[in-house]
Structure 1
């Protein structure tokens, strides 16, 4: 059985993951193996199925591992693919049993949960300034908690508006001059309504990342900071509540937007002016779309921002071989290996120079330029837990039961109560 530096106890209680006291002290300077020539041994890396082609991904990981072994030939790398389903539980159970991986893939709402209880290795002692050169600035947001880096990003997305050009022409507007600001889009929304179209999809039954959060950020607001300052009911954030409420009450978004999880039938049926989407949406349009489309930069309110998840690799703080693991994280996210990984998976690289993989793809090349505006969500240990509270209040607002300010205040109160829990 593998010996680990720390022991983590993970308990499942009332749907929340609670951890026993774990050391948060990562001040010990690691023995930087690359410099001392001591990077050897064995590491296990947990990855997920990123496409539907297991054979192609197997070859991808062989190539990436071979690149790593060019610099660290004495490290044996074991790549293990685990399913997406129940991944949180699998990771936590394995680490609690002292039998976890040395490197694993994490997303933005997982990282702060793990880092806050000392489950992740701080990577700053392993990083030189040059190691961070080339990364899109926004891609590093989700890898940082309390001013410390706990991962490096390998992929990124950016959500923006995809326009049905038939509808654009039907409302008398120019496809070459798509809206850039809130005011411009709202003017188009009114014209769309007059012509019998919806202006935008809105999936109120889905994640806040694809509904209210982009509007909050564009308004200059925020949800909650890493210092537990709740800002969702600030004057800036309330502007986003007002915008969504205005769109719904005026019929600019579909009637089922309060609880909808998909509006594809309306979109592909040519009934909506614009859809908030990402690279997957573009792929679907190229395969299934029956009308011409164009994408535009994220809208600007007070700021030009949008949502886009970030995928990263992290190292558990109880890894048997932290030196080799940290070097693997640096290697797998370098430009060369990002080209390999993202060519197969068709995500957007977080290294600027690796974005050249999309040079021959008009839409993905354009979308890749928008990651500079993409925030990865609410980076906070309670980021996932507070979403249902916000969703419920926005739904109540859209149903006419609360004003935007009342809904925002109620959401803030619920968030504060959640943050007060141990």
Structure 2
């Protein structure tokens, strides 16, 4: 009798244990996280942080899935609209207005406390807002600055980089020679934005007014053409493999200056010219006659509006953008922190690269906060290329871009 009773008790206990395990498994939150980080150090860093988060939160399992940046925007839209499970997405800031307008993002207004919001760099958090609502938390802050070779400028008699566009032209011409040129002129329209703002020009306003055909905008693009025509830039016959050429020439000392962002620093420091990191100078992009600026941008973590666990997803992205993680990320990847206090940390306060880009952030400007914002370069870049190659006038080029943008914006 006792043996039979023990067997019954044992069976009952086993059933309870199995039931508890089943409930535990059912209660486990599983989150799919799509990341657009470069394969390598960036993705490795993010994976390590997620592994740490999973270990600290046994009832949560975050699975990281890398996606190619060039196709990620369309992939994300297609995935959500077809019912594929994606809970968290690393988004370029320029994509957020479109995603929000399509109803793909979970608004974080009720999840993000005032204390949470107050810790971020104001301009970084604003890049996650659309029509008064918050849709993400900033992970990486970006603003292209003027990167220069201190040795080349010093040998030409300059103790400091150009502060104005006129000085940029003067110094770039002075340091140019048979085997070297002053500043790389990029045909990607993204890199034209600092020139536009320096001359008081613009692209599209937040209320969808096109300003690229204004006199100031035309002056800006004319100045870019002047840099090329007066021999201050590269002498290649075209812009094939443009970005790689820019990076290689600067890293090898074939160019004295480029405009680029913090994402480029690790690669530059591997170049022969910057084995001594102190030779890399970082300064604000020169001011023009009517202004100064650089496009504020970066990447943020957003939560899918179709996620079954938006609150848990928010806790993950809050952790990944916390002060502790931002400091670790900046130390390892030389990225710009999105948390204000991290810039005062002693480990970064004396870092000339981080602080140099921080100076640029202070005068950076937002790109148009419109759903079509990420599309505006589609017609801008090829027409800018033709302008810089002398295949069409500045006036003809901006008129073509204006017509294309009117179609994009559905303006009569």
Match of 1:347 among 335, 341, 365: 335
Asked if the contact 2:172–2:232 (Cα under 8 Å) also holds between the matched residues in 1, the reply is: yes
Q: TM-score, normalised by structure 2?
A: 0.80
Structure 1 position 409, deviation (Å) = 2.5
State the distance in 2 between where 1:373 and 1:66 align. 40
The 2-side partners of 1:201 and 1:122 are apart by 41
1:336 Cα deviation after fit: 2.4
Kept in 1, the 8 Å contact 2:97–2:369? The answer is yes
Matched position secondary structure for 1:320: coil
Residue 267 of structure 2 corresponds to which residue in structure 1? 284
CA 267–55 in structure 1, closer or farther in 2 if over 3 Å, else same: closer
2:231 is equivalent to residue 246 of structure 1 = no
Q: Secondary structure at the match of 1:384?
A: helix
Instruction: Determine if the alignment matches structure 1 residue 417 to structure 2 residue 407.
Output: yes
Other-structure match for 1:59: 48
Runs of 4+ deviating beyond 6 Å:
none
The aligned runs of 1:189-338 (5 Å cut-off) are: 189-193=172-176, 197-204=180-187, 207-209=188-190, 211-256=191-236, 258-260=238-240, 261=242, 262-290=245-273, 292-301=279-288, 302-338=290-326
Tell me, which stretches of 5 or more residues in structure 2 are unaligned?
A: 1-26
The verdict on how the C-alpha distance between 1:105 and 1:281 changes in structure 2, with shifts beyond 3 A counting, is: closer
Whole-angstrom distance in 2 between the partners of 1:415 and 1:55: 39
Shift of 1:84: 2.0
Residue 113 of structure 1 deviates from its aligned partner by: 2.0
Does residue 89 of structure 2 align to residue 100 of structure 1? no
Q: Offset of 1:233 from its aligned partner?
A: 1.7
Name the counterpart of 1:12: none
2:110 is paired with a residue whose SS is helix
User: What is the Cα deviation at residue 105 of structure 1?
Assistant: 1.0
Could you tell me which residue of structure 2 aligns to residue 155 of structure 1?
A: 140
Matched with 2:387 is 397
Q: Which one of 359, 370, 374 corresponds to residue 384 of structure 1?
A: 374
* Counterpart-to-counterpart distance in 1, 2:67 and 2:391: 41
Cα pair distance change 1:51/1:349, threshold 3 Å: farther
User: How much does 1:416 deviate?
Assistant: 0.9
**Structure 2 counterpart SS, 1:287:** coil
Shift of 1:216: 1.4
The answer as to whether partners of 1:155 and 1:342 remain within 8 angstroms in 2 is no
CA distance in 1, matches of 2:195, 2:237: 16
Per mean C-alpha deviation after superposition, the further-off stretch among 99-108 and 384-393 is: 384-393
1:76 aligns with 2:60: yes
Cα separation, partners in 2 of 1:43 and 1:399, compared to 1, 3 Å: closer
Matched residue pairs, number?
374
Whose Rg is larger?
2
Report the CA distance shift for 1:405/1:232 in structure 2 as closer, same or farther (over 3 A). Answer: same
CA offsets per residue over residues 282-334 of structure 1, 9 Å max, x none?
32333223363322222222333213531101112222122332343333322
Q: Is the 8 A contact 1:171 1:195 kept in 2?
A: no
How does the TM-score come out when normalised to structure 1? 0.78
> Structure 1 pair 66/390, CA: closer, same or farther in 2 (3 Å)?
same
- Residue 180, structure 1, aligned to residue 170, structure 2: no
> Once superposed, what is the RMSD of the aligned Cα atoms?
3.0
Match of 2:22 in 1: none
CA distance 1:55–1:166, shift in 2 (3 Å)? closer
Whether 1:362 aligns to 2:352 is: yes
Name structure 1 gaps, 5 residues minimum.
Answer: 1-38
Which is richer in helix?
Answer: 2
CA–CA separation in structure 2 for the residues paired with 1:150 and 1:180: 37
